[in-house]
Amino acid sequence: MREKQDSEHSSVEALCIQAAPPLSSTASVAVQLQSLANFIDCRHGYTTLKAYAGPKHYSAGIRHGNWITPRETKSAEDPSIINSSQSQVSTVNLPYSEADIRAIEEWVRRHVETTWHGIGTYAMAPREGNSVTSHGVVDERLNIYGVSNVKVADLSIAPSNVSCNTYSSALLIGEKCATLVAEDLGYSGDALKMEIPT
């Protein structure tokens, strides 16, 4: 199901998976397949992280130091959420003013990064879009719509993330672009054959 989400910062379309009615008739969205699509998620993630990232939480037994000189432990550590069942999860709501919220939103805008490769900014798709992307920028010969004599030959043409190694996809795109440019320059037949050096 496609769900339109509007906020003061953006309007995005997210692909959502709903739970089947016998499993849950109250949940509207079970899984949203677009990480941080709604800016409110970013703000909530930051404030929740701050609430749980106190000095007694999430230590998981990690000790500071190095391989040669480990840190000395002077006393037993307090139980934390991860390494002890004796600690209760803090339910204290941290107070945030409107100025705090604006500062958090600005910080998130400047610092949130992705672990995904930044691809798809010049999607190869019909100009009006399709089922994968809302609009296309590059046609099937890697030409930018409305621009003459310019081709795009990198991972930005992928309409969505690829399900393989991105390096191999980049090589494939580069090789195909070389063929398309040669064709545009009038080469054909045997002139387009590529030989792998031995």
Q: What is the SS3 assignment for 42-95?
A: HHHHHHHHHHHCCCCCCCCCCCCECCCCECCCCCCCCCCCCCCCCCCCCCCCCC
- For 42, counting Cβ atoms within 10 Å of its Cβ (0-12 exposed, 13-18 middle, 19+ buried), the class is buried
Contact 160, 118 (CB under 8 A): no
* Angle in degrees, CA 137, 142, 145, rounded to 5: 40
Q: Say which of 44, 57, 111, 117 is annotated catalytic.
A: 117
113 has pLDDT over 90: no
- Do 50 and 91 form a contact (C-beta atoms < 8 A)? no
Give residue 177's pLDDT.
Answer: 92
Distance of alpha carbon 129 from alpha carbon 20, whole angstroms = 30
Backbone φ and ψ of 156, nearest 5°: -65, -15
What is the tens place of the pLDDT at every residue in 52-103? 665 555 444 444 444 444 445 555 555 554 544 455 555 556 778 888 888 8
Spatial contact of 150 and 108, defined as CB atoms under 8 Å apart: no
Question: Residue 34: is its pLDDT beyond 70?
Answer: no
Contact 82, 58 (CB under 8 A): yes
**Is 117 among the residues known to form the active site?**
yes
Share of the chain above pLDDT 90, in %: 20
How big is the CA angle at 34 (ends 171 and 120), to the nearest 5 degrees? 30
Averaged over 143-169, what is the pLDDT?
89
pLDDT of residue 59: 46
User: What is the token pair recorded at 185?
Assistant: 């320059």
Mean pLDDT, rounded, of the chain:
70
End-to-end CA distance of the chain: 51
